[in-house]
Amino acid sequence: MYVIIVPIQIKEGYKEQFVEAMLDDAKGSVNDEPGCLRFDVIQDAADPNRIWLYEVYVDEAAFQAHLEAPHFIKWRDTVKDWRADGGLQGAGRGSYNIWPPDGEWK
């Protein structure tokens, strides 16, 4: 498994439309990408303008395919000016799964 954890800081005044666009990307990922096993959008408890993404892919190639998916490109282009912390480069961190073991994912 290949796991991505991404913190995103949203500019003041853009949260509602950012989250709407983010949910379109999340739903497109789990519904249209066979390599995407999970795509969670999580609200930070201390900062209403910070969300976290937790994404799980079967492998790094599936994540790279996600970056080329039409719903991702639409999201990226839609929200590019709504992020307080700049672009997507280096925004997240790729990781490898430990538990549950890859074979136990449903």
106 inside domain: no
Confidence bin at 40 (pLDDT 50/70/90):
very high
Reported as a single tens digit per residue, the pLDDT across 71-98 is 999 999 999 999 987 545 445 667 777 7
103 inside domain: no
For the chain, helix (H) and strand (E) counts, in that order, are 3, 4
Q: How many domains does the chain have?
A: 1
Mean pLDDT across the stretch 22-48? 95
Q: Where are the alpha helices (DSSP H) in the chain?
A: 15-32, 60-66, 70-79
Higher pLDDT, 90 or 70: 70
CATH code for the domain in which residue 55 is found: 3.30.70.100
Contacts of residue 48, Cβ cutoff 8 Å, sequence gap at least 6:
15
Mean pLDDT across the stretch 99-106? 76
17 inside domain: yes
Domain, as residue range, for 21: 2-85+92-97
Confidence bin at 101 (pLDDT 50/70/90):
confident
Mean pLDDT across the stretch 22-39? 96
> Where does residue 84 fall: left (phi above 0), alpha (psi -120 to 50 degrees), or beta otherwise?
alpha
Coil, helix or strand at residue 93: strand
Coil, helix or strand at residue 8: strand
